[in-house]
């Protein structure tokens, strides 16, 4: 085993515990246990400081679409760093990476999308969305159209606006969120909340909650509806087939903007450039990040339809922007990333090759005694862990079983993430067939080990 770290694991753990506060973590219990130290990445694998090789079933955090360790990106970044490491785009200036990336995005975007506003992250993209959607209506002489309708258990980031648009209860409970003017409706989570309805009926019901909310709030007060094509952090919630067509119908018949949050679903994840295209819907605004640079450097943005862009032009000054909007080095990384996605036909690969290949194997996990439902679209998938089947009953204990399963998975050499008792994956789009086989075999082994633990504790049945 070759170790790539300069110091032993204990050294990093001690300093990490002493000085580093981790996102979305219980600091005390993490520090007692010690964080796993990741030291290297290559292709679909990461390596830890003890020399373990782990299949990265989450592509980092849904972002590393082209796989880890690509020299093309390192070279593009190095070149840009030496040429122009930073300049802003605020005061009548621009630079080649910003221009080239904006044009490259227009080229891959759906028809009617020709402009982009750059940010440093997906959260900032959603902050931008909130201001842009309201500014759009204000410019059209309808300043009262301010409310953004979003969904429970949605994830739109961790800034104040992002977390407010998101529907994560534990996030709202801290820091006095959500801000006013955001209204949350039901999510299209059939397995968890469908009750006795068929998936098709439930999909229609969940979509019509939007119509109901518009009527209750008043169409003259609603600016927009925002939704992830497939909810990611909420547990890879793939809506029933009836959902998006009905949402689309409602948005077209009402005077509101439709925003598809493409931070996860964009850049090939669903076998299309953007998630909206997979579901055949036509949004007005699309926040992007993650797969935009495959996570190599932080960059996000909002893809703006001509319809909205023309109004924002009428606004005059749009008083919004970030120091790192269109950061040249991040833009260079994103450009090199888009080049790889195009040249290696990763979008088509997910749609026609690795997507169907992994799905066929992943769906076989449905037979496992611990599994209540298996889902996969493109290269995102979920496993619902249940104490008895067939039933939608859940385990007691708020995600304790999911956490057990997650820990087994890591030890077995596969990153799966637990959302409550839902196990989720979102592997790199460069995943090989052999790696897909390994992923499913490791997931199966992990389920067996989790089941054995649960039986020993008398928690099954």
Ligand X SMILES: *Cc1c(COP(=O)(O)O)cnc(C)c1O
Query: Interface residues with ligand X (CB under 6 A)?
Result: 62, 121-123, 126, 155-157, 228, 232-233, 261, 263-264, 289-290, 300
Which is closer to ligand X, CB of 228 or CB of 435? 228
Q: Cβ 456 to ligand X, closest distance in Å?
A: 36
Give the residues across from 94 on adjacent strands: none
CB of 239 to ligand X, least distance (A): 14
| CB of residue 364 to ligand X, shortest distance in Å | 28
CA–centroid distance for 227 within its chain = 11
* 68 neighbors 42 (Cβ within 8 angstroms): yes
Do residues 297 and 156 touch, judged by C-beta distance below 8 A?
A: no
- Output the CA–CA distances (angstroms, integers) from residue 48 to 42, 66, 437, in the order listed: 12, 20, 22
Of 61 and 108, the one with the shorter C-beta distance to ligand X is 61
In the complex with ligand X, the residue whose CB is nearer, 231 or 305, is 231
Which residue's C-beta sits nearest to ligand X? 122
Give dist(CA 158, CA 120) in Å, integer. Answer: 13
Least distance in angstroms from the C-beta of 103 to ligand X: 23
For residue 108, with 0-12 CB atoms within 10 Å meaning exposed, 13-18 middle and 19 or more buried, which class applies?
Answer: middle
Closest by CA position to 357, among listed 273, 435, 261, 250: 435
* Residue 456, C-beta contacts closer than 8 angstroms, at least 6 positions apart: none
Nearest-angstrom CA–CA distance, 395 and 387: 6
Q: Per the omega criterion (within 30 degrees of 0), is the bond before 178 cis?
A: yes
Q: Cα(352)–Cα(349) distance, rounded to whole angstroms?
A: 5
CA 87 to chain centre: 29
By C-beta, is 290 or 375 nearer to ligand X? 290
Q: In the complex with ligand X, which residue's Cβ is closer, 261 or 435?
A: 261
Q: Which is nearer to ligand X, 419 or 438 (CB)?
A: 419
**Nearest residue (CB) to ligand X, 150 versus 401:** 150
What minimum distance in Å lies between the beta carbon of 426 and ligand X?
A: 10
Output 203 or 300, the one with its CB closest to ligand X: 300
Query: By C-beta, is 80 or 123 nearer to ligand X?
Result: 123
Please list the alpha-helical segments (H only) found in 316-399: 328-343, 346-352, 354-363
Q: Which is nearer to ligand X, 9 or 123 (CB)?
A: 123
Place of tokens 């055949």: 280
Cα(344)–Cα(43) distance, integer angstroms: 14
Cβ atoms within 10 A of the Cβ of 459, count?
16
418 contacts 58 by C-beta, under 8 angstroms: no
- Specify the DSSP element, H or E, that contains 10: helix 9-19
Least distance CB 38 / ligand X (angstroms): 18
Contact 362, 438 (CB under 8 A): no
Tell me how far, at minimum, the Cβ of 62 lies from ligand X, in Å: 6
């Amino acid at each position: 085993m070759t170790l790539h770290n300069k110091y032993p694991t204990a050294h990093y753990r001690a300093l990490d515990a002493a000085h580093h506060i981790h996102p979305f973590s219980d600091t005390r219990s993490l520090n007692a246990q010690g964080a796993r130290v990741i030291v290297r990445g290559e292709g679909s694998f990461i390596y830890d400081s003890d020399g373990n090789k782990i299949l990265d079933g989450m592509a980092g955090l849904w972002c590393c679409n082209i796989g880890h360790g690509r020299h093309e990106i390192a070279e593009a970044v190095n070149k840009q760093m030496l040429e122009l490491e930073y300049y802003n785009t605020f005061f009548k200036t621009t630079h080649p990476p910003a221009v080239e990336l904006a044009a490259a995005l227009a080229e891959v975007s759906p028809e009617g999308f020709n402009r982009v506003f750059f940010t440093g992250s997906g959260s900032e993209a959603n902050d931008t969305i909130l201001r842009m959607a309201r500014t759009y209506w204000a410019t059209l002489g309808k300043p009262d159209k301010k409310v953004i309708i979003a969904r429970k258990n949605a994830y739109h980031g961790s800034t104040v606006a992002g977390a407010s648009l998101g529907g994560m209860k534990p996030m709202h409970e801290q820091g006095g969120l959500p801000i006013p003017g955001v209204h949350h409706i039901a999510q299209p989570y059939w397995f968890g909340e469908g009750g006795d309805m068929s998936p098709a009926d439930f999909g229609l019901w969940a979509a019509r909650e939007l119509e109901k909310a518009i009527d209750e709030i008043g169409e003259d007060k609603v600016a927009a509806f925002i939704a992830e094509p497939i909810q990611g952090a909420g547990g890879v919630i793939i809506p029933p087939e009836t959902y998006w067509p009905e949402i689309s119908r409602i948005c077209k018949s009402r005077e509101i903007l439709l925003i598809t949050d493409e931070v996860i679903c964009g850049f090939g994840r669903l076998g299309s450039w953007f998630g909206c295209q997979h579901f055949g819907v036509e949004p007005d605004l699309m926040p992007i990040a993650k797969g935009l640079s495959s996570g190599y450097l932080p960059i996000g943005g909002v893809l703006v339809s001509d319809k909205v862009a023309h109004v924002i032009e009428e606004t005059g000054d749009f008083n919004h922007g970030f120091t790192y909007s269109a950061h040249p080095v991040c833009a260079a990384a994103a450009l090199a990333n888009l080049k790889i996605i195009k040249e290696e036909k990763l979008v088509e690969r997910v749609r026609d090759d690795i997507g169907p290949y992994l799905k066929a194997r992943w769906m076989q996990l449905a037979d496992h005694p611990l599994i209540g439902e298996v889902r996969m679209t493109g290269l995102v998938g979920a496993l619902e862990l249940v104490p008895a089947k067939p039933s939608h009953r859940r385990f007691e204990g708020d995600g304790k079983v999911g956490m057990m399963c997650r820990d087994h998975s890591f030890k077995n050499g596969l990153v799966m993430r637990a959302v409550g008792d839902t196990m989720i994956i979102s592997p790199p789009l460069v995943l090989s067939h052999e790696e897909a086989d390994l992923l499913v075999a490791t997931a199966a082994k992990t389920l067996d080990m989790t089941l054995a633990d649960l039986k020993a504790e008398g928690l099954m049945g």
